[in-house]
């Protein structure tokens, strides 16, 4: 692991979250949902890289949370919100490849979850 690689993951993740907020404000809910998923995935990989020196090449947020939970017990708290994590995880495919439209309210719920629960949990690890 290099510090530069870890820091790049963190910076990209934060850029995806800012992008999600901007896209949400512009009414681009599908792309906002995708950006939220990217933020979560990159932050989990960032923390895994810091804690273990590596991370799996995986798309599943649930798998990444479980892996991080092995290295940082506090990460397991995120599994209490497995339905929201699954919803965000599904946005990776749903927002890009499926004929599915994301609604304002569901993207707002995802953003609120990320800001109020996901980010604070990740930050304290």
Q: Identify the pLDDT of residue 3.
A: 84
**Total domains present in the chain:** 1
Separation between Cα atoms, residue 93 and residue 100, nearest integer Å = 10
Domain that residue 56 falls in: 3-124
Nearest to 44 by CA among 55, 31, 32: 55
Q: Identify the pLDDT of residue 1.
A: 65
Give the model's confidence band at 59: pLDDT under 50 very low, under 70 low, under 90 confident, else very high.
confident
Q: pLDDT digits over 7-56, tens only?
A: 999 999 999 999 999 999 999 999 999 999 999 999 999 999 999 999 99
Separation between Cα atoms, residue 53 and residue 35, nearest integer Å = 25
> Between 59 and 121, where is the model more confident?
121
CATH code of 10's domain: 1.20.120.330
Concatenate the DSSP letters of all residues of 14-53 into one string: HHHHHHHHHHHHTT-HHHHHHHHHHHHHHHHHHHHHHHHS
Separation between Cα atoms, residue 69 and residue 72, nearest integer Å = 5
């Amino acid at each position: 692991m290099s510090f530069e690689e870890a820091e790049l993951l963190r910076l990209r993740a934060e850029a995806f979250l800012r992008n999600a907020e901007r896209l949400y404000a512009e009414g681009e809910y599908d792309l906002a949902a995708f950006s939220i998923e990217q933020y979560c995935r990159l932050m989990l990989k960032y923390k895994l890289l810091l804690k273990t020196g590596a991370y799996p090449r995986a798309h599943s947020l649930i798998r990444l949370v479980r892996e991080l939970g092995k290295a940082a017990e506090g990460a397991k708290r995120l599994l209490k919100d497995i339905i929201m994590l699954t919803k965000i995880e599904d946005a990776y495919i749903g927002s890009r490849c499926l004929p599915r439209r994301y609604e304002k309210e569901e993207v707002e719920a995802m953003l609120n979850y990320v800001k109020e629960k996901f980010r604070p949990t990740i930050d304290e690890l």
